[in-house]
Amino acid sequence: MADNVGFQATLQDVTANPKQLDFVEVEAAQLPRSLQDVDAAAITMNYVMSSGLNPSDQGIFLESKDAPLAVMVVAARAEDKDNPTYQRLLALFQSEATRAFLQKTFDGTIEPAF
């Protein structure tokens, strides 16, 4: 892989392919449907869940919840960071009720970062 491309990497950044793998770019929403035609696919969790795939049974790699792109960030403009409505929303988002809902609903495919 080319140096310093990080999450912006494309097929043009592949600098070596000693196993002669064939990489095929597919629209993200089509990846779950393409599984019958490929050996493996990197599918984001929103498409995994909406397609009914089970990462525990079918996954070969599950990115850590601490990975940079795996964490959702609640953000506001600097002048709004102390807004009481936003603070209440943040408290609800980080509550035990939300943690329990995520566990029950997503069975480990989405984990709270708090």
Instruction: Report the predicted TM-score, pTM, of the whole model to 2 decimal places.
Output: 0.65
Q: Report CA-CA distances (Å) from 50 to 88, 96, 110.
A: 29, 25, 13
- Rounded to whole angstroms, the Cα distance separating 62 from 93 reads 23
- Token code pair at residue 49: 């869940």
Report, in this order, helix, strand and coil percent for the chain, each rounded to 5.
Answer: 45, 0, 55
* Domain ranges within the chain, ordered by starting residue: 1-66, 72-107
- Token code pair at residue 14: 């592949």
Task: Convert the pLDDT of each residue in 23-77 to its tens digit.
Answer: 999 999 999 999 999 999 999 888 988 898 888 788 898 887 777 777 778 899 9
CATH for 1-66 (3.40.190.10, 3.30.360.10, 3.20.190.10, 3.40.50.300): 3.40.190.10
